[in-house]
Structure 1
Amino acid sequence: MKLLTALALTLTCALANAGTLDSPEGPVILTVSGAIENTNGDGVAQFDKAMLEELQQRTTETTTPWHEGVVKFEGPLGRALLDAVGAKGENMEVTAINDYASNVPVADFYDHEVILALKADGKYMRVRDKGPLFIIYPFDENPDLKSEVIHNRSVWQIKSIDIQ
């Protein structure tokens, strides 16, 4: 009997640690899959714009190789997204709408103030403007981030992230 009680308690605790996210009410713009604990679909976490805006936000004003001058980017912190889904991996495969994919270390989102930019200069980014989501590192805050490796991790038109 004690064994059954202990097993039931262990299972209950495991289920309590895994969470369910709210379901998106608007169009899904990001799907997170892989090694995650919190879902709202069949093993995935789907986010609409409103859900992403509920995460901790940051504004980053920086130059990029893809824009003229300083641009003011706004969006959720990458680490806030990882925390929301209960990410348990060390790497992410970030895929764009055109199926371009880049491997991004999870550590980048914790070591730097990386955002998933929804807005550029106060306007939501459309697909033609590299939206709806664009990984933005704080390039001007840390000169070491101005490298080809980091630029290749700065995926735009993101549609999915697979935590590995």
Structure 2
Amino acid sequence: MTTAKICGLSTPATLDAAIRHGASHVGFVFFPASPRHVTFDKAAELAARVPGHVAKVGVFVDPEDEMLEQAIASAALDVLQLHKVTPARAAAIRARFGIELWVAVAVRTRGDLDGAHAFVGVADRILYDAKTPDSAALPGGMGLRFDWDLLDGFRHPLRWA
């Protein structure tokens, strides 16, 4: 089965369109600096529209446990997608919350891919994301791409998200 996650959904219309067109996963961003950020109340409202066969993913940047607790409770999340976390922090989150965990690895060079290996035994999936410039306003989600040719011949330690 093909999986496709549509992320950054913040309105009923965009959520409904993603589901109608076959998204297997829908993502809600819990990062206040993002223009696609949703509040816990908004996430609850949107999550209530999601049918059971579609997984709900919460997207976080170096989150505190309190934020994760509130997001999981409000949106009945099936998956946590973590950006800017260390393997130790990801392991602590997995141990505490026990739900599926995807970890983003920021990529600009072939050497950046090696960061995925540190999440074996911690994450269920790896998401390769373009590394943003140091001067960027956001740590990701900016529509940037990395050179996918970097993946040629790389042995992926985990399934892709």
TM-score, normalising length: structure 1: 0.24
Query: Computing the radius of gyration over CA atoms, which structure comes out larger, 1 or 2?
Result: 1
TM-score w.r.t. length of structure 2: 0.25
